[in-house]
Amino acid sequence: MKNARQSEILNIIQEVEVETQEQLLEQLRTRGYNATQATISRDIKELRLVKELSGRRGYRYTLSDRKNSPGLDMRLRNIFKEGVTSVEVAQNIVVVKTMPGLASAACSALDNMQIPDMVGSLAGDDTGILIMRDSAAAQLFEAEVHNLLK
């Protein structure tokens, strides 16, 4: 459902000049997708959509021109999903255990996901350490990883 909705969001922003999240929600509803503003906000972040100046003196959502394409991002997420065996939190530090030799790939995937509250990562052979801004960010990240690994 999430992948289909996000794919439809990409179609919408290519076909229509969408200036606000409300307009995006309305476009999704007309195409049969029910979502909340919070869900759309997360989708925008995950898809790396940004607002750019449109030809009509307004703004519109578009894909970011960052160095990492969405396809590369998905491949990195898959590497992370396939290689990680466990995740634990110790205050603002997240310890990521992987299959032997994959900690570097997992940390690289995480670095390229550009997680807002991640300060940095350090990888060994089968263990990666992520430094988060605070304990709350570490707990939230751990919960997200557990959902990803399901």
Stated pTM of the model: 0.51
Q: Where are the domains of the chain?
A: 2-63, 70-149
Q: CATH: 3.30.200.20, 3.30.420.10, 3.30.1360.40, 3.40.50.300. Which one for 70-149?
A: 3.30.1360.40
Q: CATH: 3.50.30.30, 3.30.70.560, 1.10.10.10, 3.60.15.10. Which one for 2-63?
A: 1.10.10.10
Q: pLDDT at residue 135 above 70?
A: yes
Pairing of strands 127-132, 84-90: unpaired
What is the predicted pLDDT for the residue at 63? 82
What is the predicted pLDDT for the residue at 28? 94
48 alpha-carbon distance from chain centroid: 8
What is the predicted pLDDT for the residue at 77? 66
In tens, the pLDDT along 57-111 reads 788 888 876 544 455 556 656 766 778 888 999 999 999 999 998 888 888 778 7
Mean pLDDT of 41-55: 85
Q: Which residue has the tokens 């997680």?
A: 115
